[in-house]
Structure 1
Amino acid sequence: MQKQPEGAASYLGAGVDVEREEQVLSRVIETATETFAFVRGIGKPVLPIGFFANVIDLGHGMGLALSTDGVGTKLMVAQMMQKFDTIGIDCVAMNVNDVLCVGARPVSFLDYIAVQEANPHLIGQLMQGLKEGARRAGVAICGGEIAQIREMLASEREGWGCDLVGMCVGHVPLDKVIVGRSVTPGDVIIGIRSSGIHSNGLTLARQVLFTQNRYTVDTKFEEFGRTLGEELLEPTAIYVPEVVEALERSLAITGLAHITSDGLLNLLRLDAQPHAVGYEIDRLPPIPPIFSLIQQSGGIPDHEMFQVFNMGIGFCVVVAEADAESFLEIVKHHGREALQIGRVVSDPERKVVIRPHGLVGQDNRFVKV
């Protein structure tokens, strides 16, 4: 592991042990994969665990894509702000964006809301955000669960403690599933801008901003044009409209990656076999001010920042060069910003190279070179 500069904040120091999580995850995946043998025919998983979503066989050549995720400690910022009406957008976004990554169109959503008590104001605000997220993604909320578990939840304010998790399903023809197996050297990597911090890395952000530097959610920063709390609660971008249109127009998309924890290393989740490829990033948009504030306030090196945060790119699309301009036009039509950030290259070591910052990523780690 690359040594952190003395005094620098880190994800591990904030309480998130990524290496240990990976060890635990390998055991979870091993056990879960053993259950695949319990299903024959309809309902059989068609992908191994490890992609952004899995797909099960529905018969007649159709697949059902499934993904589940929550919003993590972004909920603690919502508690500090006493503002819960946008956090549901994040929950929908984290799930529908993952379902997109196997080439599926998201269609339906379920939620799980855990609360200290059945607080109608809290639940009403959460549902307001979930509804808005569903509208943006074009999905229906077809059910869910509310659990009152006071003794299991902590809160900045008694009676307002909660957790929020979602699950999304989508549909995709089995012969249209995209997991990166057609990624070829020369393909273009297009990055779609994030809306901010999204829903990853909030544990480190809170440690640096609130604990170490004593900022509050009401601290105003000129570069944001609003309070720190409002900036951190900016909802995760939902990329469904532009990606679904590109899929329906049959552009030569070979890989799709939601840029969450692990940042641009998520490109390595693409199954680029039989080609041994790497990803050369030679251009990035200006780093959003929220990340500059976190980095400067915590003395965090570049390799840690790009390991934990999206750093301004929320979603990547790998596409044949001939269709790159068409995809950029679709994104622009939907009111989003995107740019070509790099290319796929031949690389038996399967690295992600971020040239503007002198970083090389491999085996789930970035190092400075």
Structure 2
Amino acid sequence: MVLLKTKTYAESGVDIHKEEEAINEIISNFTMKRKGIGKPLGGHYAGMIEFHDHALVLCTDGVGSKVLLASMMKKWDTIGIDCIAMNVNDAICVGAEPLSFVDYLAIDDPNPKITNEIGKGLAKGAELSNISIIGGETASLPEIINGFDLAGTCLAYVDKNKIITGETIEPEDKIIGLSSSGIHSNGYTLARKIIEESTFSFQDPFPDTKKSIGEVLLTPTNIYVKEIVALLKEIKVHGLAHITGGGLRNLLRLKKNVKFVINHPFPPNDIFTFLSKQGEIKPKEMYQTFNMGLGFVIVVKESDVDQTMKILKKHSHADVQLIGQIEKGEGVTLPSENISYP
């Protein structure tokens, strides 16, 4: 193992704290607030607007630098699944059911073979999410783009009296987790740097599998729509969180004046153990950069745990596990690793 220069996400080129500041500067300019139909209703993972007795939900996201790996491996047929997943998994966090999707593909050279493969992934993601892709935009930008970038926007809806914001979360609530399939679509800049600075290549076999390291890294993001939609029909859920960029810090978006204690985490997927070892990345950095095996979180009151687990296990392909509880205090803690995030 060689001595690596890159130890953190920020050192790899992505500073999530600087990114938050930049986002806040953009948002500070948005002062126009429509009234009546279309009135903003807030939101954390997704924005909501008033539409009669419902809230229409909009969110937009992309696949990030995972597209670089897809091009490197010449495998474009699953990147569309990631694009759908990143959006619909955010939309369901406010209790909404996704309805439709539009995509945006910016590309240097609109190669029909590549765009067809990307389209296959988008179609599969839409099928898994039970949504329609109703349009999009493909822009040929050879002077701006080197390769391609893929993003999209999801429309969803929820009854106004069934919006989930996390406000009802309280001490003694339980935290249930759904496992991830791997890295999903966040942290790829650091993951790529680790491999590039190691003695491995993306074409090398991943230990104890028949896949290459690159293929393992391209494993598509889990989509959690069907199990969450089914759950919301029967259980009064207190909070929902998609564990994306920022790792466990995502839980802080739900409620500020409670403590999220994760005392029974999923074992990290093999890819995380591999990256941590090769990059000599400390656990605290790993858990605030990657999902570390935890793809989605559901918070319910203790008396609803058994029924919630039953419904999730019936409808989900992911592993389902009681991973922790809500306590008095603030922040997120992972006692097994002696990690706390304020």
Q: TM-score, normalised by structure 1?
A: 0.89
Work out the CA distance in 1 between the residues paired with 2:318 and 2:293: 13
Q: Which runs of 4+ in 1 moved over 4 A?
A: 5-8
SS in 2 for 1:151: coil
Letter in 2 for 1:190: I
| Runs (5+) with no aligned partner, structure 1 | 155-160, 363-369
Corresponding position of 2:278: 297
Letter in 1 for 2:340: V
Work out the CA distance in 2 between the residues paired with 1:259 and 1:148: 32
Work out the CA distance in 2 between the residues paired with 1:184 and 1:29: 29
Match of 2:32 among 18, 32, 35: 35
Q: CA deviation at 1:336?
A: 2.2
Corresponding position of 2:336: 356
List per-residue Cα deviations over 1:123-171 (Å, max 9, x = no partner). Answer: 10010000000000000001100100011112xxxxxx11100100111
Work out the CA distance in 1 between the residues paired with 2:21 and 2:193: 25
Determine if contact 1:117/1:150 at 8 Å carries over to the other structure: yes
Alignment of 1:22-171 (within 5 A): 22-32=20-30, 34-36=31-33, 39-47=34-42, 51-59=44-52, 61-154=53-146, 161-171=147-157
SS in 2 for 1:95: helix
Letter in 2 for 1:44: K
Match of 1:230 among 215, 221, 224: 215
Match of 1:184 among 164, 170, 174: 170
SS in 2 for 1:308: coil
Determine if contact 1:7/1:299 at 8 Å carries over to the other structure: no
SS in 2 for 1:168: strand
Match of 1:261 among 234, 245, 251: 245
Q: CA deviation at 1:198?
A: 0.2
Corresponding position of 1:157: none
Work out the CA distance in 1 between the residues paired with 2:190 and 2:38: 39
Corresponding position of 1:346: 328
Q: TM-score, normalised by structure 2?
A: 0.96
Q: CA deviation at 1:112?
A: 0.3
CA RMSD of superposed structures (Å): 1.4
Q: Does 1:196 align with 2:182?
A: yes
Work out the CA distance in 1 between the residues paired with 2:219 and 2:311: 24
Q: CA deviation at 1:226?
A: 1.3
SS in 2 for 1:78: helix
Letter in 2 for 1:83: K
Determine if contact 2:258/2:326 at 8 Å carries over to the other structure: yes
Work out the CA distance in 1 between the residues paired with 2:39 and 2:208: 50
Determine if contact 2:99/2:155 at 8 Å carries over to the other structure: yes
**Matched residues, number:** 339
Work out the CA distance in 2 between the residues paired with 1:118 and 1:145: 12
Task: State which drifts further: 19-28 or 140-149.
Answer: 19-28
Letter in 1 for 2:162: K
Work out the CA distance in 2 between the residues paired with 1:197 and 1:170: 25
Corresponding position of 2:201: 216
Q: CA deviation at 1:231?
A: 0.4
SS in 1 for 2:41: coil
Work out the CA distance in 2 between the residues paired with 1:214 and 1:96: 37
Work out the CA distance in 2 between the residues paired with 1:35 and 1:257: 28
List per-residue Cα deviations over 1:69-112 (Å, max 9, x = no partner). Answer: 00000000001111100000000000000000000000101100
Determine if contact 1:223/1:289 at 8 Å carries over to the other structure: no
Corresponding position of 1:313: 294
Work out the CA distance in 2 between the residues paired with 1:241 and 1:271: 25
Percent of pairs with identical residues: 41
Letter in 1 for 2:306: E
Q: Does 1:15 align with 2:13?
A: yes
Corresponding position of 1:365: none
Q: CA deviation at 1:44?
A: 1.0
Q: CA deviation at 1:8?
A: 5.7
